[in-house]
Amino acid sequence: MPIASSLMPTSEPRARLDRDRQAAPQLFERLREAIISLELTPGTTLSRTEIAAQFGVSQTPVRDALMRLDEEGLVEVFPQHATVVSPIDLRSAQQAHVLRRSLELEIVRSLALDPPPALVAALDGLIAQQALAAGAGDFETLTTLDRLFHQRLYEAAGLHELWLLVRSRSGHIDRLRRLHLPTPGKAQDILRHHRLILASIAGGRPDEAQRHLRDHLSGTLAHVAEIRARYPAYIRD
């Protein structure tokens, strides 16, 4: 997978921000996505000066964005020294898994007890897009669509705030999943599980929906040893 070693400034900002919105939240999202996608790998040093130059902003919103990333455990700030992208913390990944599994087991059960037709149609469309991305080997798009699939479940259950909570706690396990995704057969497993979850919800089979969701969410943590063997410098206990 292509991985950048640093976020470097250019003579022009690489990606201009929306001047009608506050800069700090936008920088946070841009940097967070670069970390989750492993464009910025564990151990990468982040320079406030370089980031400010790249995006054409002052250092104040950069500082605020880095503070939020620190709160999510995605960077480590060493005062008067450096800010570094954190290693993938297995304990944090396991805790995020427990949180997400607990919530989503209840969510798919409730949705299967009263399947929303609009949700079924929306998820079916997302799965079709996922199949195209998987066939093209487009892991970035597949990751985005996978995340959207689960977000739609929370929203259909009226639990968008809980989705935001889960997302804020999932940076470490999301990076593990990104490392695991190129493994042969992994993308196809995601598609298969999504289809089974959707079919169970649409068919009004809550126990089956829970079983397929449990299998789906356990896939990456079951392969931690393999992932760690390939990327030992990226992961810590």
166: left (phi over 0), alpha (psi -120 to 50) or beta: alpha
| Residue reference for tokens 């995605």 | 74
| DSSP strand pairing (45-46 vs 75-78) | unpaired
pTM of the model: 0.89
What is the pLDDT confidence band of residue 20, given thresholds at 50, 70 and 90? confident
Beta-bridged to residue 75, according to DSSP, are 85
In the chain, the domains with their CATH numbers are 23-86 (1.10.10.10), 89-236 (1.20.120.530)
Q: What is the pLDDT of residue 15?
A: 62
Per residue in 211-225, pLDDT (tens digit) is 999 999 998 999 999
Lookup: tokens for 107: 């969510």
Instruction: Region of 38 please: left (phi>0), alpha (psi -120 to 50) or beta.
Output: left
101-158, pLDDT tens digit by residue?
999 999 999 999 999 999 999 999 999 999 999 999 999 999 999 999 999 999 999 9
Q: CA-CA distance, 30 to 65, in Å (whole number)?
A: 9
